[in-house]
Amino acid sequence: MDSEACVICFKHCCSRAIFCKQVPDDCPLCNSAIADYELEPFRLPYPFTKAKESPVTVVIRPSIGNFLNDYNVTDDLHIGIVDSEGFVWEFDTPGLIKDDFLNWENCLAFKIVPQSWTDHWDQILRRTCNNRKWSSINYREDTLNCFDFVLEFLKALKFEDLVFFSKEEFCQQFIIPKIQDALKFITIYRKLRDADYFVAS
């Protein structure tokens, strides 16, 4: 985790949460020295991961930039698949891409299947990637893109707990809840870029 992305939360003199990168000696609300807490300081869970450290997952990232510094809710997202060895497979304008680690240092990962499905995951991924459909000449931004590649793979898995019938349903089940949690962290993180603390209203 980037040390700059550390966000700490605590409560001192009232029920209002104080967020900071480092706990201050004096309370920002009452200005008294902090001897005890209403809520002990704890580090907010960091929602992002490096794709190579999240094998057997589906991963998303902004198409341009990264979540922490650049992402807005109207921005396009890019999606890929991580195999059991941590290699990222994605479909984009150049066609099928493997192992573009630098662009997947700050992403959201979705664990879709249990550990026992790892071999099947890799087998279906190889089969999906071998389809000539995923060549650069077939890429279409709106009709045959990274999302279509991932959804075709997931449907081919035939995992019984994974039920969706459209891109919209997949987004509702998996992507939107994770993005909403990440946005809470992003909002606080950005407020702390130019301030020592942020007090929740």
Q: Do 76 and 148 share a structural domain? A: yes
Beta 88-92 vs 57-62: how paired, if at all? unpaired
Q: Shortest CA distance to 135 belongs to which of 100, 93, 195, 194?
A: 93
Q: How far apart are CA 141 and CA 46, in angstroms?
A: 31
- Structural domain that includes position 7: 3-46+188-199
Q: 37 or 160, which is more confident?
A: 37
20 and 93 share a domain? Answer: no
Enumerate residues 6+ apart whose C-beta is below 8 A from 114.
none
CB 131 within 8 A of CB 167: no
From CA 176, how far away is CA 45, in angstroms rounded?
18
Confidence of residue 139 (pLDDT cuts 50, 70, 90): very high
Asked if residue 130 and residue 59 are part of one domain, the reply reads yes
Domain co-membership, 153 together with 81: yes
Question: How many domains, in total, are found in the chain?
Answer: 2
Pair (68, 30) in one structural domain: no
55, 124: one domain: yes
Q: Domain check: are 134 and 97 in the same one?
A: yes
Q: Using CA atoms, how far apart are residues 98 and 104, in angstroms rounded to an integer?
A: 12
pLDDT digits (tens, 9 = 90+) for 143-174: 999 999 999 999 999 888 777 767 888 888 88
- Say what the pTM is: 0.89
Give the tens place of pLDDT for each residue, 57-111.
999 999 999 999 999 999 999 999 999 999 999 999 999 999 878 889 999 999 9
In degrees, rounded to 5, the angle at the alpha carbon of residue 194 between the alpha carbons of residues 191 and 199 is: 40
| Residue 26, domain member (yes or no) | yes
Question: pLDDT per residue over 97-107, tens digit each?
Answer: 998 788 899 99
Q: Are residues 31 and 58 in the same domain?
A: no
Query: Kindly report the CA angle at 64 between 62 and 70, in degrees rounded to 5?
Result: 75
Per cent of the chain over pLDDT 70 is 98
At 169 the pLDDT is: 87
